[in-house]
Amino acid sequence: MILKNIKKEIEERYIKLLIFLILFKHTNPVRSILKIFKLPNFHNDKKGQLSIESLLISLISILILVSISLPLTEIAVDSTISSVKLLETKSEISKITNSIDDVYSDGIGSKRILYVGMPKETYLIFSNDSVLKKGIVTGDLDVFNHSKQIKIVFNADNINSRINFKKNINYKVTIEWPIDTENIILKNVEV
């Protein structure tokens, strides 16, 4: 989908460029410039007219090249930044699931505290998967104005919790398996 949008934008810019060049070629000053190049003795021009015209043509060519390449660079940078934020978010979620697995493996009465900062606003749902007999965390993230669902499976099958993380805010996440309960409890507090 993203590649189609990029391809469509490139095609639109290319068509505009072709129209510009066709119109530009048929203007009187450009025709006179092109006629100069067809003269057999254009080196004998003492006024430097040819140099100025060739500089203008070079300048216009560079401007056209820059006007095409800058938007493409911007699109590439935006997609890279979004991908990096997605990977950072997934890494932070993995830190939480690893700590949940640590608490689960340590047994009843264990507790872990970790600090997490999500680069994107994230709403996570921790639940049990009865088929896999494991825990699963799901979260929806916006990537290129599309929602992408992340699912990470972990070993603890006794957790049911929902946590919301705001963008670029650090949280203290407490993962605890109290003695008097069967489920692991998750809490997050802004730091």
Per-residue pLDDT, 25 = 55
**SS3 readout for 85-113:** HHHHHHHHHHHHHHHHHHHHHHCCCCEEE
Estimate to the nearest angstrom the gap between the alpha carbon of 22 and the chain centroid: 37
Classify burial at 38, counting beta carbons within 10 Å of its beta carbon; exposed 0-12, middle 13-18, buried 19 or more.
Answer: exposed
Backbone angles phi, psi at 111, to 5 degrees: -150, 145
pLDDT at residue 173, rounded to an integer: 94
pLDDT of the residue at 119:
87
Give the range with max mean pLDDT: 79-93, 141-155, 164-178.
Answer: 164-178
pLDDT at 95: 94
pLDDT at residue 28 is higher than 60: no
Quick one: average pLDDT of 89-102?
92
Closest alpha carbon to 136 in 96, 176, 187: 96
pTM above 0.85, yes or no: no
Model confidence at 68, pLDDT cuts 50, 70, 90, reads confident
Q: What DSSP letter does each residue of 120-136 carry, written as one string?
A: S-EEEEEEEETTTTEEE
Name the more confident of 35 and 100.
100
Q: What is the distance, to the nearest Å, from the Cα of residue 79 to the centroid of all Cα atoms in its chain?
A: 3
Mean predicted confidence (pLDDT) in 158-173: 90
